[in-house]
Amino acid sequence: MAANEHEAKMAHPRMAAGALFFDAGGRVLMVEPTYKDYWDIPGGYVENGESPLHAAAREVQEELGLTTTLGSLLAVDWAPNATEGDKVLYLFDGGQLAPEAVARIHLQADELKAVRFVPQHEIAERTIPRLARRILAAIEARAKSIPVYLEHGQAPGDAAA
pLDDT digits (tens, 9 = 90+) for 109-129: 999 999 999 999 999 999 999
Please tell me the predicted confidence (pLDDT) of residue 25: 96
Give the contacts of 24 (CB within 8 A, at least 6 positions apart): 96
Distance separating alpha carbons of residues 12 and 80, to the nearest angstrom: 11
Spatial contact of 33 and 106, defined as CB atoms under 8 Å apart: no
Alpha carbon 124 to its chain centroid, in Å, reads 15
Q: How big is the chain by its Cα radius of gyration, in Å?
A: 16
Query: How many CA atoms are closer than 13 Å to the CA of 139, on its beta-carbon side?
Result: 19
Please tell me the predicted confidence (pLDDT) of residue 143: 96
Give the contacts of 107 (CB within 8 A, at least 6 positions apart): 31, 63, 64, 65, 113, 114, 115
Residue 9, classed as helix, strand or coil, is helix
- Name the residue ranges covered by the structural domains of the chain: 12-151
Residue 161 has pLDDT above 50, yes or no: no
pTM over 0.85: yes
3-state secondary structure 100-149: HHHHCCCCCCCCEEEEEEECHHHHHHHCCHHHHHHHHHHHHHHHHCCCEE
Q: Average pLDDT in the 67-92 region?
A: 93
Distance separating alpha carbons of residues 59 and 65, to the nearest angstrom: 9
Band the pLDDT of 12: cuts 50, 70, 90: confident
CB atoms within 10 A of CB 137: 21
CATH number of 12-151: 3.90.79.10
